[in-house]
């Protein structure tokens, strides 16, 4: 900061010295002019004329008044003149300061300006210009990100509302058929009941998506920690996802050399693993294997999920943990989630004092969760 203000201080000191030099020269010239009678005689004549014409004094009385007021008090008037000169110098120097403040004030007001115009300040305030432009860029980016997030959320709500209507219409239609056709064949009735149940499950999932959005936006994450066996938890997660793995011929393999235990919220951590594995299944190739590895080192536990599938572009990889972001925007809510899974996982891991990252290269995508053992 000291170096940043150096140029400004030199500029201001230079201006003050310049003004003082000019004031000193002017004062000196005025003093010489008075001593030489260049200014004194015209002033004396003017004063005497004023006394004669305005005050109705005779010439000798006017001259006597001039001698008493000015000639006998010459040092006093020189001192007063010098003080006035100093005040004028101070005012001019102060105006330079206020000029800088006005420019800074105007620049600050531009921070909330929606135009793309950059803030410009004098060269000696270049450091402040850079900082203000950086703040302006950050504010604009935050506003843009907030608008985009709100737009994605609004779009998501519209999609979900539309998709809720679809299974609900089917449920009402099939239930109406079952109610009206009392003598419907058993096989046909079973088929309609099966379809209705499937649509009901889908409707429940969509409604849960709505609750998920509300909870994620309004509630903070509260952890209830206990000693958790990571091995057992990962094996249980894999077993629960067998119905999703089987149709595509996929499988998940857990590789852990030794027993690992961490102090964490088991339910919320299981939710993290569920979200990551669900994402890996959705974007893995058919008949591929998802590898889950875990190890403990340096008082931390590293859990990685590796799947084989289409490489995720770097620009999308940077946004994958954002709220309401969906890797494949073409996927509807009928085939995908609300785009909250990985964002919620990120918040849960952060609450544990850990990190979650993703890398994707050569058709291999790896999600890595790092949790402190004593978190």
At residue 181, φ and ψ (nearest 5 deg) are -95, 85
Contact 372, 354 (CB under 8 A): yes
pTM above 0.75, yes or no: no
At residue 224, φ and ψ (nearest 5 deg) are -120, 95
CA-to-CA distance for 268 and 375, rounded, in angstroms? 13
| Residues with Cβ within 8 Å of residue 141, at least 6 apart in sequence | none
Report pLDDT for 254: 93
Nearest to 200 by CA among 180, 173, 239, 240: 173
Report pLDDT for 227: 92
Report pLDDT for 371: 94
Q: Could you tell me how many residues make up the chain?
A: 375
At residue 297, φ and ψ (nearest 5 deg) are -155, 140
Report pLDDT for 332: 42
Give the range among 3-12, 271-280, 295-304 with minimum mean pLDDT: 3-12
| pLDDT, mean of residues 97-104 | 76
> In this model, does residue 49 exceed pLDDT 70?
yes
Give the range among 102-116, 134-148, 169-183, 255-269 with minimum mean pLDDT: 102-116
318-354, pLDDT tens digit by residue? 778 776 555 554 444 444 444 567 877 888 898 899 9
> In this model, does residue 163 exceed pLDDT 50?
yes
| Residues with Cβ within 8 Å of residue 82, at least 6 apart in sequence | 27
178-201, pLDDT tens digit by residue? 888 878 888 888 888 888 888 888
Report pLDDT for 196: 86
Q: Which domains does the chain have, with CATH numbers?
A: 2-112 (no CATH), 137-218 (1.10.287.130), 226-372 (3.30.565.10)
Q: What percent of the chain has pLDDT over 90?
A: 15
| pLDDT, mean of residues 47-51 | 74
Mark out the alpha helices in the chain (DSSP H runs): 2-35, 40-53, 59-66, 74-109, 126-180, 186-218, 230-240, 242-245, 266-283, 314-317, 341-351
Please give the residue that has the higher pLDDT: either 177 or 262: 262
> In this model, does residue 366 exceed pLDDT 90?
yes
19-47, pLDDT tens digit by residue? 777 767 766 666 665 554 555 566 667 77
Report pLDDT for 32: 64
Please give the residue that has the higher pLDDT: either 13 or 37: 13
Q: In which region does residue 299 sit, left (phi positive, over 0), alpha (psi from -120 to 50) or beta (all else)?
A: left
Report pLDDT for 154: 72
237-287, pLDDT tens digit by residue? 888 888 788 888 999 999 987 889 999 998 889 888 988 998 888 889 999
Rounded to 10 degrees, the C-alpha dihedral 311/314/318/323 comes to -50
Report pLDDT for 66: 66
pLDDT band at 304 (very low <50, low <70, confident <90, very high): very high
Contact 354, 280 (CB under 8 A): no
SS3 state at 71: helix
Mean pLDDT of the chain: 77
| pLDDT, mean of residues 45-65 | 74
Report pLDDT for 221: 67
Q: What percent of the chain has pLDDT over 70?
A: 74
pLDDT band at 156 (very low <50, low <70, confident <90, very high): low
Q: What is the sign of the dihedral through the CA atoms of 54, 57, 60 and 66?
A: negative
Report pLDDT for 329: 46
């Amino acid at each position: 900061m000291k170096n940043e203000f150096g140029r400004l201080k030199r500029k201001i000191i230079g201006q003050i010295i310049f003004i003082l030099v000019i004031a000193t020269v002017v004062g000196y010239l005025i003093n010489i002019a008075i001593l030489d009678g260049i200014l004194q005689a015209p002033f004396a004549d003017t004063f005497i004329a004023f006394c004669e014409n305005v005050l109705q004094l005779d010439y000798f009385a006017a001259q006597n008044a001039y001698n008493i007021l000015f000639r006998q008090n010459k040092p006093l008037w020189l001192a007063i003149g010098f003080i006035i000169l100093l005040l004028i110098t101070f005012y001019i120097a102060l105006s330079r300061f206020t000029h800088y403040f006005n420019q800074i004030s105007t620049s600050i007001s531009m921070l909330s300006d929606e135009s793309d115009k950059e803030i410009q300040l004098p060269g000696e305030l270049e450091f402040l210009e850079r900082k203000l432009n950086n703040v302006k860029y950050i504010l604009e980016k935050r506003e843009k990100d907030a608008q985009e997030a709100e737009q994605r959320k609004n779009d998501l709500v519209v999609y979900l509302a539309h998709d809720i209507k679809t299974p609900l219409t089917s449920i009402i239609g099939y239930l109406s058929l079952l109610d009206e056709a009392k003598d419907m064949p058993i096989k046909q009735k079973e088929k309609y009941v099966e379809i209705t149940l499937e649509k009901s499950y889908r409707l429940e999932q969509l409604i849960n998506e709505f609750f998920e959005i509300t909870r994620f936006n309004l509630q903070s994450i509260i952890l209830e920690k206990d000693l958790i066996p990571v091995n057992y938890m990962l094996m249980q997660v894999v077993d629960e996802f067998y119905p999703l793995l089987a149709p595509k011929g996929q499988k998940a393999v857990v590789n852990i050399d030794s027993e690992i235990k961490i102090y964490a919220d088991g339910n919320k951590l299981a939710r993290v693993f569920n979200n990551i594995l669900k994402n890996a299944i959705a974007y893995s190739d058919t008949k591929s294997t998802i590898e889950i590895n875990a190890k403990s080192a340096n008082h931390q536990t590293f859990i990685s999920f590796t799947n084989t599938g289409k490489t995720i572009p770097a620009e999308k990889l940077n946004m994958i943990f954002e709220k309401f972001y969906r890797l494949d925007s073409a996927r509807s809510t009928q085939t995908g989630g609300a785009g909250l899974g990985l964002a919620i996982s990120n918040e849960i891991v952060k609450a544990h004092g850990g990190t979650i990252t993703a890398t994707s290269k050569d058709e291999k995508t790896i999600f890595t969760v790092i949790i402190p053992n004593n978190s």
